[in-house]
Amino acid sequence: MIKPFKFFRGIIGARVVSIGNVLNELYQEPPFGISRRHWNMFPQDLRGGSELNMLTYIQGWEDARSNITLNPYNDIEMREIWNRGYWRCINRIR
Per-residue pLDDT of the chain in tens (94 residues, 90 and over written 9):
555 544 444 444 555 555 555 555 556 777 788 888 888 888 888 887 888 998 999 999 999 999 999 999 999 999 999 999 999 999 987 6
pLDDT of residue 9: 47
Phi, psi of 71 (to 5 degrees): -75, 120
Helix (H, G, I), strand (E, B) or coil at 44: coil
**Integer Cα distance of 48 and 31 in angstroms:** 9
User: What angle (nearest 5°) sits at the alpha carbon of residue 40, between those of residues 64 and 56?
Assistant: 45
Task: Using a cut of 0.85, tell me whether the model's pTM lies above it.
Answer: no
